[in-house]
Structure 1
């Protein structure tokens, strides 16, 4: 299988790349900074390719998809995402633009380009990593990040309906807190206090299983899904207070 992981140089994306490499698949990872890859990784895995890429750069993304999709493209995972803590900092124009370009338009371009290749071969699977924040209903003062992650789910649903008749699956991954390096940095080096936090290994097990089963949506852990469902039942004025 030929697997392209956009946002695969660290975190969940990299862990998922290692999973598919261990299965013997041909894997390409890309990200804005290839220096984030572990030292010696390329030498350890001859089936691994790495490309510098900013998902917001559509021409570069198109070139990468054209290059890797020969002779075919079986699986594309978009794990790239940009988070900004609007509870502690004020969004400026540049940061707002970056979040929109990474979380929404970049994903849309990746799906568009990959779908064209998969339609030509009448097979394949598209996967996008959203967030449990994307399941929260809109409310006064809700974060832009949550709004972009809701949009990820909408993009997945649209492509799933469009591509299903052609044998192409689309899977939305909706994780809660995962104990990645990025999450630890955002929490002063320790994310263990986060509710129902999962390890990278647990997250990869969920994601790989959802992909194998060609599921439409996989939300994990179940406790976070239950918690968000409870929050969505609260009056909007109370949700606004949670900021």
Structure 2
């Protein structure tokens, strides 16, 4: 059995919606005190209210991870509210579509700014507090898109997610002497508000490409992130875990039909 994480403190960026909210819910259910971030105060407040009955205390801070100062503010709030910080889930991410011939410098900077730079900034802001905890854990939400797969319109998104994996490998080496681990979860297609907004045809297409025969849930990702945060995962660092129902495995759609 895993040791309890009850009483530890986690930050979950982008925790007001989608996968981030699922991670926050999973951690709070395990007794972890969670500070969620989001750019919208309304969304942050709604998520905090929805998770109010969890064993762990859930609070929020409206913040933009593309701002190093905002990231410092989030860490300071977590330490002030709970006396320290043990876990950072660098989850905030966006996935606007832009085909290469239409992509503007602003499109590229926006995606890299949130998905990659935002990951670096929140981790940098938390380093001292994580080292003080003696068992710091960093969990990055990457994606199968970029590291393993591609999809038209998401070349900038895929690049940002692949960049996260390049980052964690060296970060894990640098932070190991401080007893801080750094790992990544790579979701496949997960049922979130963002996926629903892409339409039923897209969801049907993605479901058909998954050997497990279903889209993932936010709890599937939350459970994977929770594992990386445990004491038992203390000897795992610089690694990535694909959580996709087997989506990256088939050579073709015909391979799924042969099951």
Q: Normalising by the residue count of structure 2, what TM-score does the alignment of the two structures yield?
A: 0.78
Whether 2:219 is the aligned partner of 1:201: answer: yes
Distance 1:137 1:164 in 2: 30
Structure 1 unpaired stretches of 5+: 232-243
Displacement of 1:55: 0.6
**Counterpart position of 1:4:** 11
The alignment yields a C-alpha RMSD, in angstroms, of 2.9
Bigger drift between 114-123 and 162-171 goes to 114-123
**Counterpart position of 2:68:** 58
Displacement of 1:116: 2.5
**Counterpart position of 2:242:** 219
Whether 2:141 is the aligned partner of 1:129: answer: yes
Structure 1 stretches of 4+ with a deviation exceeding 4 A read none
Q: Which of 44, 50, 55 is 1:41 aligned to?
A: 50
Q: Which of 11, 35, 39 is 1:32 aligned to?
A: 39
Classify 1:67/1:172 alpha carbon distance in 2 versus 1 (closer, same or farther; 3 Å): same
Distance 1:47 1:211 in 2: 17
Distance 1:208 1:123 in 2: 14
Distance 1:12 1:142 in 2: 19
Whether 2:153 is the aligned partner of 1:146: answer: no
Deviations 1:147-190 (A, max 9, x none): 11110101111111111122111111111111111111023587
SS at match of 1:191: helix
2:191/2:218 contact within 8 Å kept: yes
Classify 1:2/1:158 alpha carbon distance in 2 versus 1 (closer, same or farther; 3 Å): same
Displacement of 1:4: 0.6
2:136/2:179 contact within 8 Å kept: yes
Deviations 1:190-218 (A, max 9, x none): 72431322122333233323433354221
Q: Normalising by the residue count of structure 1, what TM-score does the alignment of the two structures yield?
A: 0.83
SS at match of 2:216: coil
Classify 1:39/1:192 alpha carbon distance in 2 versus 1 (closer, same or farther; 3 Å): farther
Distance 1:30 1:189 in 2: 31
Bigger drift between 160-169 and 209-218 goes to 209-218
Deviations 1:99-120 (A, max 9, x none): 1110111111111111232224
Classify 1:78/1:189 alpha carbon distance in 2 versus 1 (closer, same or farther; 3 Å): farther
SS at match of 1:125: strand
2:95/2:154 contact within 8 Å kept: no
Whether 2:78 is the aligned partner of 1:68: answer: yes
Distance 2:191 2:79 in 1: 32
Classify 1:177/1:42 alpha carbon distance in 2 versus 1 (closer, same or farther; 3 Å): closer
